[in-house]
């Protein structure tokens, strides 16, 4: 049974495109994405995903009122009171008694949003064959997997697959039509698996611990030290990955800084918490004109094995503080969006990797469980309760809920992708959500995307070049690789090389795919690069003779005076040794750079003919990755190393 709230018909699907800070918010609109005029506004919609990290205790979040005596018996120290001050809050007494839930007393903000038709909750969400490892279960939720062998080891994420299918060719770098990152992550320094596409490329930008207003100022200085020389090793692979993320973030830095500075918050008072800061940043980016489709934010701390509540005062303690932060922050975010005129564009959802056991443990806490509720927020949700209370009288031998899954989490995400973001059948199939049902009455009828407005993958451009890289793989060999997401009437590629970055000569040619609407990878090796710096670019020629060029890549080849240049130990603790042989005596300099290109040390060297060894202290440098660059008149050599204590 559901409780439906009346919402004003504000013409969500027929509203004219908004203009914020002079920036149109419909920049994603194309003829192929907006089949009918009354579909305007769908392409402006945003999904905010809030991860409750650690495993939220759904049973103290939503107390089954009809089973209160059983609940109090299995949780003698942490059960919330059902009478008096600080007792559970009856969310909705118009529901059938088996559906009525008592909210944790710290959830007054959720009650307020529910009564204002801005919140929905979904009971008993999970997946088949539950895994109770934090890391694996998190990966399963983010990848769209479950505990069955067929879906246990997916290497891509559902958000990445959706974005890749809906916006092909936008793999972590801006274009004229798509200037913003398709996804933005905040609150966790580790890049989320959820944003990795089929090619395991991270299609989002991580702003964790970063002030977007200062982002471009920080990133604008990147590249002052060379990063092109990457060793052929596990360390080299890791460094190449770091550099790829750095380049992607750098590419978006100016745009993110621009929209952040163009936007503002409405003056709504947010809690003074890390989660609230993340949500406040999202609101400001959207107000400044950001067209990012999915934001992922985090709140950790839900692994409440011990001291989940204060014995004898169960409405206080760790879990109470966590829930207050979640719902107070989301309520402030919702109010901010409303004041900014953005509330009809944004829907927020929560998830946690699992719930907690029904029975408490001996440490006034709860251990890893299975099913847990999800929550939806925004003016476009259908306010109500989906599902019924979990059964506390039918538990496993270790106090867990039995296999009483009411909603597969992929049903929820499929509903959001289609009914909210408008994903068509092909996009849902690529997201791996196609076979699942949708959750009824989750999105308000006025806001549900109708089938005639479903988005299908954009038609490919004649050539969509998603990557062109140059990398030194041996002492004097350069690997050149590139990738296209589509080709139409395409003839061939040429690699061109230059000594000065101005005059280029072709050194390699390979046929294109003709016409292909799928990712294609190409590579070749320049076995005789120029001494000093070699500049490379990729030339693309269509069947009609139309020619386009990639950006130019520069590779610095080891100086002819220096051979066998090495740095050890690597990783270093207190100092490093630079060794090299030289064909002649020379005066040189050595400089150390951070991975961001900031010089941290420089000194002169007198190099003699033959073998040379120099010791350099690094005991004052923080842990991290650095580049050492040794230079004389004929050129330079650069090697990466790590400081690790």
Report the C-alpha gap between 74 and 356 in whole angstroms.
Answer: 13
Report the C-alpha gap between 65 and 182 in whole angstroms.
Answer: 42
Residue 11 included in any domain? no
| Contact indicator for 457, 426 with CB cutoff of 8 Å | yes
For residue 542, the domain's CATH number is 2.60.40.10
Q: Name 607's Cβ contacts closer than 8 Å, sequence gap at least 6.
A: 561, 580, 582, 585, 586, 587, 588, 632
SS3 569: coil
- For residue 605, count other CB atoms closer than 10 A to its CB: 16
pLDDT of 206 reads 80
Query: 397 and 521 share a domain?
Result: no
| Contact indicator for 428, 417 with CB cutoff of 8 Å | yes
pLDDT of 198 reads 74
Residue 606 tokens read as: 């007198």
Report the C-alpha gap between 631 and 590 in whole angstroms.
Answer: 6
Closest of 51, 164, 99, 606 to residue 388, by C-alpha: 99
SS3 90: strand
Query: 501 and 596 share a domain?
Result: no
Query: 168 and 312 share a domain?
Result: yes
Residue 249 included in any domain? no
Query: 170 and 294 share a domain?
Result: yes
Residue 228 included in any domain? no
Query: 518 and 628 share a domain?
Result: no
What φ, ψ does residue 193 adopt, rounded to 5°?
-55, -30
| Contact indicator for 67, 312 with CB cutoff of 8 Å | no
Q: What is the helix (H) or strand (E) element at residue 108, kind and residue range?
A: helix 108-115
Query: 404 and 382 share a domain?
Result: yes
- Boundary of a domain, candidates 418, 450, 482: 450
HEC string for 514-537:
EEECCCEEEEEEECCCCCCEEEEE
Query: Measured on CA atoms in the order 557, 558, 564, 567, is the torsion positive or negative?
Result: negative
For residue 619, the domain's CATH number is 2.60.40.2550
Report the C-alpha gap between 57 and 367 in whole angstroms.
Answer: 9
For residue 436, the domain's CATH number is 3.40.720
Query: 348 and 495 share a domain?
Result: no
Enter the DSSP assignment of 638.
Answer: E
Residue 78 included in any domain? yes
Tokens 């009455």 belong to 441
- Boundary of a domain, candidates 556, 580, 595: 556
SS3 483: strand
Enter the DSSP assignment of 196.
Answer: B
According to DSSP, the β-strands at 372-377 and 119-126 are antiparallel
DSSP letter string, 490-519: EEEEEEEEESSSSS-EEEEEEEEEEEE-S-
- pTM as predicted: 0.67
1-16 pLDDT, tens per residue? 333 332 222 222 222 2
Query: 405 and 503 share a domain?
Result: no
- Count of domains for the chain: 3
Closest of 155, 219, 220 to residue 432, by C-alpha: 155
Q: Among the residues of 7-67, which ranges form H helices?
A: 58-61
Query: 306 and 431 share a domain?
Result: yes
pLDDT of 9 reads 25
Report the C-alpha gap between 152 and 267 in whole angstroms.
Answer: 45
| Contact indicator for 9, 433 with CB cutoff of 8 Å | no
Query: 470 and 378 share a domain?
Result: no
| Contact indicator for 157, 196 with CB cutoff of 8 Å | yes
According to DSSP, the β-strands at 183-185 and 294-299 are parallel
Residue 229 included in any domain? no
Residue 560 tokens read as: 């002819």
Residue 219 included in any domain? no
C-alpha distances (whole Å) from 414 to each of 139, 425, 438, 439 are 18, 11, 6, 8
- For residue 613, count other CB atoms closer than 10 A to its CB: 9
Collect the ranges in the chain with pLDDT lower than 50.
Answer: 1-37, 216-248, 459-461
- For residue 437, count other CB atoms closer than 10 A to its CB: 11
Residue 101 included in any domain? yes
Residue 369 tokens read as: 């469980």
HEC string for 312-355:
CECCCCHHHHHHHHHHHHHHHHHHHHHHCCCHHHEEEEEECCCC
Residue 619 included in any domain? yes
- Boundary of a domain, candidates 556, 572, 604: 556
- DSSP strand E in 557-598: where? 562-568, 575-582, 586-594
Query: 95 and 177 share a domain?
Result: yes
| Contact indicator for 456, 424 with CB cutoff of 8 Å | yes
Query: 540 and 468 share a domain?
Result: yes
For residue 285, what are the domain limits? 19-211+267-450
Report the C-alpha gap between 228 and 202 in whole angstroms.
Answer: 20
Report the C-alpha gap between 485 and 466 in whole angstroms.
Answer: 7
Report the C-alpha gap between 537 and 83 in whole angstroms.
Answer: 73
């Amino acid at each position: 049974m559901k409780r439906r709230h009346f919402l004003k018909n504000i013409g969500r699907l027929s509203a004219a495109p908004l203009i914020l800070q002079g920036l149109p918010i419909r920049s994603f609109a194309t003829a192929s994405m907006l089949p009918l005029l009354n579909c305007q506004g769908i392409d402006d919609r945003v999904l905010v995903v809030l991860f409750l990290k650690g495993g939220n205790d759904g049973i103290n979040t939503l107390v089954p009122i009809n089973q209160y005596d059983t609940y109090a018996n299995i949780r003698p120290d942490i059960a919330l009171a059902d009478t008096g001050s600080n007792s559970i809050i009856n969310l909705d007494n118009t529901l059938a008694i088996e559906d009525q839930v008592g909210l944790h007393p710290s959830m007054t903000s959720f009650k307020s949003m529910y009564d204002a038709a801005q919140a929905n909750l979904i009971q008993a969400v999970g997946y088949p064959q539950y895994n109770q490892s934090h890391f694996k279960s998190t990966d399963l939720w983010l990848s769209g997997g479950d505990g069955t062998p067929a879906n246990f080891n997916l290497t891509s994420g559902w958000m990445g697959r959706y974005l890749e299918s809906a916006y092909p060719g936008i793999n972590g770098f801006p274009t004229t039509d798509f200037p913003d990152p398709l996804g933005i992550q905040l609150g966790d320094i580790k890049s989320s698996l959820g944003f990795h596409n089929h090619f395991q490329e991270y299609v989002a930008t991580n702003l964790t611990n970063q002030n977007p207003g200062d982002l471009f100022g920080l990133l604008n200085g990147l590249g002052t030290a060379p990063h092109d020389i990457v060793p052929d090793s596990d360390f080299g692979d890791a460094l190449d990955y770091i550099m790829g993320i750095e380049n992607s973030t750098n590419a978006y830095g100016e745009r993110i800084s621009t929209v952040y500075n163009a936007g503002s918050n409405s003056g709504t008072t947010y809690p003074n918490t890390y989660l609230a800061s993340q949500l406040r940043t999202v609101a400001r980016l959207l107000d400044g004109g950001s067209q990012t489709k999915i934001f992922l934010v985090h709140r950790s701390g839900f692994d409440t094995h011990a001291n989940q509540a204060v014995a004898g005062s169960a409405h206080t303690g760790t879990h109470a503080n966590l829930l207050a932060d979640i719902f107070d922050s989301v309520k402030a975010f919702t109010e901010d969006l409303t004041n900014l005129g953005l509330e009809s564009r944004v829907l927020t959802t929560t998830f946690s990797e699992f719930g907690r056991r029904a029975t408490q443990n001996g440490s006034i806490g709860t251990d890893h469980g299975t099913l847990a509720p999800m929550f939806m927020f925004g003016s476009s949700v259908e306010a109500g309760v989906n599902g019924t209370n979990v059964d506390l009288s039918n538990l496993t031998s270790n106090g867990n809920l039995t296999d009483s899954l009411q909603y597969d989490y992929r049903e929820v995400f499929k509903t959001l992708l289609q009914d909210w973001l408008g994903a068509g059948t092909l996009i849902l199939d690529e997201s791996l959500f196609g076979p699942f049902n949708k959750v009824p009455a989750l999105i308000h009828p006025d806001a549900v995307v109708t089938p005639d407005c479903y988005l299908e993958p954009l038609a490919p451009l004649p050539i969509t070049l998603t990557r062109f890289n140059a990398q030194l793989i041996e002492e004097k060999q350069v690997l050149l690789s590139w990738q296209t997401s589509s080709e139409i009437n395409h003839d061939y590629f040429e690699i061109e090389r230059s000594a000065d970055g101005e005059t280029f000569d072709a050194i390699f040619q390979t046929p294109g795919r003709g016409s292909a609407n799928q990712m294609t990878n190409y590579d070749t090796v320049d076995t005789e690069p120029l001494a000093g710096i070699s500049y490379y670019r990729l030339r693309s020629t269509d069947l009609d003779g139309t020619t386009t060029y990639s950006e130019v890549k520069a590779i610095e080849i080891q100086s002819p005076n220096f051979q066998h240049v090495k740095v050890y130990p690597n990783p270093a603790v207190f100092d490093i040794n630079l060794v090299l042989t030289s064909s002649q005596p020379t005066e040189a300099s050595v400089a150390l750079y951070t991975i961001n290109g900031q010089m941290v040390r420089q000194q002169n060297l007198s190099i003699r003919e033959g073998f040379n060894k120099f010791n350099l202290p690094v005991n004052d440098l923080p842990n991290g990755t650095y580049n050492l660059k040794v230079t004389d008149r004929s050129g330079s050599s650069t090697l990466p190393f790590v400081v690790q204590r």
